Homo-oligomer: A and B are copies of this chain.
Amino acid sequence: MAKKATDIPTPVIRRLSRYLALMQYLCKKNMNWVSSQKVARHLGLTSVTVRQDLKYLDFTGVGKRGYDTTGLKSTLIKFFSADIDNSAIIVGAGHLGQALIQHKEFLTQGFKICAVCDVNPEIIGTKAGPLVVQSTDDLQDIVRENKIQIGIIAVPREEAQQVADQLILAGINGLLNLSPEHLASRRTVPVVDVRMIDSLRELVYKIKKTTGL
């Protein structure tokens, strides 16, 4: 597959996602038009960046008014398939996994948690929000039967790679990795990492810098 017009840089993708969140907010407030400058101010960017980013979508603004918030929202929803209830499984029903199941924002943003599983026999069979915790042994069957697209890895670092391998074998389409482990085999299946500890350390460094040395 050749490099397509759909090949958008990652930083742009992440900003497009933030534009979607902002459009949802502005639409709810009945603001019908927004300028690139206002978007920029809301999100801590420059107006040129915003206009450059929007060029990647087939969505154009209007002369002196700016962008139609409803139209841009719809375009971004389609772009991110945010109207489709992308199915996901959470592996690891510890505190973090449990919190994610209950997290309502996922559903409103187009993600549906269809299943949870864990290795701990003591919690298998118990309820976690609206779901029943299943055994990680059955992980592959669960993914296949429910045609789950996204695997969310919320297990300790030692188990992360093995879980990833199983999910990939079962035919998962992509992985969100909440563990600090770097997952191999990115070639076959895309992986996006959320590294909370690294974010905290980045913060510690920035604090040091601003408070002098």
Contacts and interface: CB of A to CB of B under 8 A. Distances in A.
Interface of A: 1, 4, 6-8, 10, 13-14, 16-18, 20-21, 42-44, 79-82, 86, 94-96, 98-100, 102-103, 105-106, 109, 111, 149-150, 173-176, 180, 182, 184, 186, 189-213
5 contacts: A14-B195, A44-B184, A80-B201, A95-B103, A189-B210
B202 A14 contact: yes
Task: Specify how many copies of this chain sit in the oligomer.
Answer: 2
B197 A17 contact: yes
A173 B210 CA distance: 9
A118 B173 CA distance: 38
Contacts of A6: 208-209, 213
A205 to B, nearest CB: 5
B99 A201 contact: no
Contacts of A213: 4, 6
Nearest to A152: B200
A86 B199 CA distance: 14
A119 to B, nearest CB: 17
